[in-house]
Structure formats: C-alpha cells, structure tokens
Amino acid sequence: MAAPPLTIRNLARTPLELKKIERYEALHTHGGGIANVTNITKGFQTLLSNQSQPTGAQIAENAQSFSDESVSILTEPFRSSKTDLKGIERPSEILRLTFETDGERYRLDVPSTGNRSTTLVPLTPNPRHAYSAVFLPQKSHLTIFSFANLSSWMQELKDDTPLSALSIPGTHNSPTCHRALPSVRCQVASIRDQLENGVRFFDIRVQPESPDDLSKDGLILVHGVFPISLSGNKYLRDVVNEVFAFLDAHPSETLIMSLKREGPGTHTDAQLSRILRDHYAGDVNHWYTAPRIPTLGEARHKIVLIRRFSLEEGLKNEWDGAGWCIDAESWAYNTPNDLCHSGDICVQDFCEVLETENIDKKIEYSTQHLERAGAIKVFLKEEGGVQTEGDQPPPKQPFYLNFLSASNFWKVGCWPEKIAEKLNPAIVDFLCCKHSELEGIEGQSVGDGGTGIVVCDWVGRDGDWDLIRAIVGMNSKLWLKEHHH
C-alpha cells in the first residue's frame, strides 16, 4: 500500500520552509540488505544522524532513481502542513529534505538506519538554531522540535514560570534499574543517566529501616513489598546524593520527588515524615518543602518534595501552620483522572492492566490526560503584577501527573517492561501527531500545549530517549510565550 503524502508538523520556535526534496536509493549494506530498515518493534522511525549522512559521491553511486524537486512549503510554529508530496514509496527509498529559516538551511534524511531522533544537519557555519525530529514512515509524518540540551533544558525558561506549567519527563519507581524480579524492575537507566537525559520527576517508594529509632535515617528503596535489588538493600540516601551532585553541576535544574511509604513490616507515615524532616529535607537551601507549587526560580538547584504520606502531628504546624510539602495524600487508587484534595495534583494512574487487551485502555487514559494538561493556559507575571483574564485572578494550576506505568504481577505480558514496549512508542506517536492539535477532549480549547508530568517506565533502553525528548520538546510553546509576551 502506498504511503500517504508527507505531513510536516512544526513544534519548533521558528517558522520552517521546506525548500527542496530529493529521493534516492538507500546505500546497500555488506549483507545484501539496505541501510534503512523500518523498526517494527518500536513502531516509529526517526532521523539519520550527522555521522551517518551519505556523501554526495555515495548518493551518486546509488542514485538509480534519484530526483530533485525545488518546493516552497512554509510551516509556522505549532502548525502542520499537509503537502501533496509523495511519502516513501519503496523500502529502499530515502528522502532528503532541506529546510530554511532566517536565511539558514538545515538538512535531514528519512527514514534512518536506527530508531532515534537526532539533530538536523546545519548547512550554514555557526547556525543560530538547532532542531531534532521524528519521522513516522507509515504515516509519512515528520515532526520537528527545537533541539534541547537534555542535561540543562530548564535553563531556557524564566524564573517566574509556575513549575506546573512545564512539560516534565518523569520515571516510575525511578531507582529500580537494578537486577530484580521482572515485576519489580521498572527502569533500565541509572539515576544519573536519567537526570543527564532530561528526567526531572522521580517516583520513589521507601521503607523505614529502624522505625522505632527515629535517630536513624535508613530508608530502604522498595517497590510494593519487594526490595528493588536482589543483591542487597539500596537506600534513599544514595539517590539523594546523586541528585545533589547533578544539581550542583546543573544549578538551573530542579527535581520533583514524590515519596510514598511501602514495604513489609510495621512502620507508619508519621515515622517516615519525621525521618525525612529530621535527616533529609530540613535544609531549605536544598529542599523545597512549602505546601504549594513553586515557581521555577524558587525550585532551581533544589529537590521539590511531593508527599504521598500523612504527616506527624508536629509537622502540620510547619510553614505557619500550612503543613509540610506538596500534598498528594488523598491520591485515588487506579484512577483515570482524579484531583487530590489539596488541589495541587491531578493524576492519571490507571495501573491495573489485568490483560494485554487493557493496554489500549491505558493508552486512551494517558492521552486524555495529556490533552487535559495541554488545554491549560499559563498566566505569566508582568511588571506591576500578575497577568489575569479580565478582573479574575489566575486560577490555581495543579501538576497534571500522568503515569504511563501499569502491570499485572501474574501475567508476563503485563509486566512493566512489556507494557512499556507498547505504551512508550504509542505516546511518542500521539505527541508527534495529535497532541494539542485538535480542540482537546471534553470541549476544552487548546491551551499552551504542555504535557504536565509524564511518568514513564523503561526509558533509555538501548539508548532510546525519544519519549523524553518529545516531552521536553513540548515546552517550546511556553518558551515562545515567555519570550514574546
């Protein structure tokens, strides 16, 4: 079946004009196959890296069906262009696309030899812009993002931005990258690798090691009733030290940490809250523990604590009697959409995927929550006060917390790894093709196109960070709003 005509979606900060489209045969490999192979398991293809760009001479040698067409197709930021240009017509075909913006040209070849999003190749010395892109060959759909340095992507956003306005990648059971039971392990990348590749929300479950002796700070990392490693206990202290080392090297960044008490034995939320306050989060220079959502400026170089536990009585008097930490205590279990009593967290955490068929339901709930987040319009501060609509003060904007994770202990096909294999590519596809493109669900109008906090399993597997890059890329509309406000 012939591929549909090419669609270009521009999620970058600048207009992009397609100036030229070339077609040629892919370079043959030594095994007699072709260089570009569609990655069926991942469900999508991304772009050829700079290092693997064929030279003009190489193209000429393989240019049996070479064609070259000059075009002029302008796509404004956050718009799509449905062209009449043919997509990939044969498995061996490569499209070379040349774009122009601000007098500079950038080039890419699709589809690629791998399954990664990569930067477009600048054809101008000292380019002012950088772009990355994802190509979905079955749909002939190309999405272009402004390229972000994932280790310090928050530095481009302004201090007075509400933290809940950002599109933030997160991980579920973040430290579970160790050798463990398959139903327990949710991650493949280490804490530091996650941070360096843009993750800014950690979901962590702990068990007090000595609950009856609050002078001891041991908090064992767990997932449900199980330890996260078969080789011995792992501790929150080591995670915190890793995070602070990263934040010291990248002071523009922040990390949101959600903590919950799990694990076997007799221990209480009150004990956990006191251990955290006395041994970890008492230092306001390194932890943000006010019971409200901060601005990015307030949160930089700190861990922002979200509590999924109740407080010891004395801690309810913190912050002039307002309590301690952002409150997610009333989190509903297995919910497709729930607003916590505090009003600070709106969560999708449908987690009981009992059969593989239910994964489609999980995808539906996840994309609906993305659209809820995308419908929000951010209120930015101006000189002389806070921007409002009419005479109304800006509404409270919660964190839209969207868990892509789910599992069923008793079914191999529903363990975290297997669900992520289906869910992660589906969410990349949705973000690239549909997110904030329509009027949204429930009659909501399109807002700033953010994603909220998207909490993932098994990101970074085989070096594939495309889901994280797509989430971070959704901050471009917010950036443009801030810098042209």
Same domain (yes/no): 142, 154: no
Helices (H) and strands (E) in the chain, counts: 10, 25
d(CA 429, CA 141): 10
Same domain (yes/no): 165, 113: no
Same domain (yes/no): 235, 88: no
Is residue 389 assigned to a domain? no
Q: CA nearest 114: which of 61, 171, 51?
A: 51
Residues 6+ apart with CB under 8 A from 483: none
Is residue 262 assigned to a domain? yes
Entry pTM: 0.90
Query: Which residue among the candidates 28, 129, 178, 223 is catalytic per the annotation?
Result: 223
Same domain (yes/no): 302, 176: yes
What was the pLDDT predicted at 1?
64
Is residue 387 assigned to a domain? no
Is residue 1 assigned to a domain? no
Give how far the C-alpha of residue 237 lies from the chain's centroid of Cα atoms, to the nearest Å: 25
Q: CA nearest 456: which of 187, 115, 198?
A: 187
Is residue 160 assigned to a domain? yes
User: 351, 406 in Cβ contact below 8 A?
Assistant: yes
Same domain (yes/no): 209, 337: yes
Last residue of a domain, one of 106, 122, 146: 146
Give the domain extent around 357. 150-382+394-432+439-483
Same domain (yes/no): 178, 196: yes
Same domain (yes/no): 305, 273: yes
What was the pLDDT predicted at 46?
39
Last residue of a domain, one of 131, 146, 161: 146
Same domain (yes/no): 203, 328: yes
d(CA 166, CA 159): 12
Is residue 451 assigned to a domain? yes
Same domain (yes/no): 307, 228: yes
Last residue of a domain, one of 129, 146, 163: 146
Same domain (yes/no): 154, 141: no
Is residue 57 assigned to a domain? yes
Same domain (yes/no): 56, 194: no
Half-sphere exposure in the Cβ direction for 282 (13 Å, CA): 9
Query: Which residue among the candidates 30, 129, 141, 172 is catalytic per the annotation?
Result: 172
Q: What are φ and ψ of residue 110, in 5° steps?
A: -135, 150
What was the pLDDT predicted at 353?
84
- The b-or-e profile of 214-236 (16+ CB within 10 A means b, else e) is beebbbbbbbeebbbbeeeebbb
pLDDT by residue (tens digit) across 203-216?
999 999 999 999 99
Q: What 8-state DSSP symbol labels residue 74?
A: E
Q: Using alpha carbons only, give the angle 252, 253, 256 rounded to the nearest 5 degrees.
A: 150
Residues 6+ apart with CB under 8 A from 57: none
Beta partners for 201? Answer: 170, 256
Same domain (yes/no): 161, 126: no
Q: What are φ and ψ of residue 209, in 5° steps?
A: -75, -35
223 classed as catalytic: yes
Element at 238 (helix H, strand E): helix 236-249
Residue 211 is part of a domain; what is its CATH number? 3.20.20.190
d(CA 335, CA 362): 11
Which residue stretches of the chain have pLDDT < 70? 1, 27-65, 113-115, 381-394, 408-413, 438-445, 485
172 classed as catalytic: yes
Is residue 388 assigned to a domain? no
Q: What 8-state DSSP symbol labels residue 53?
A: P
User: Total domain count for the chain?
Assistant: 2
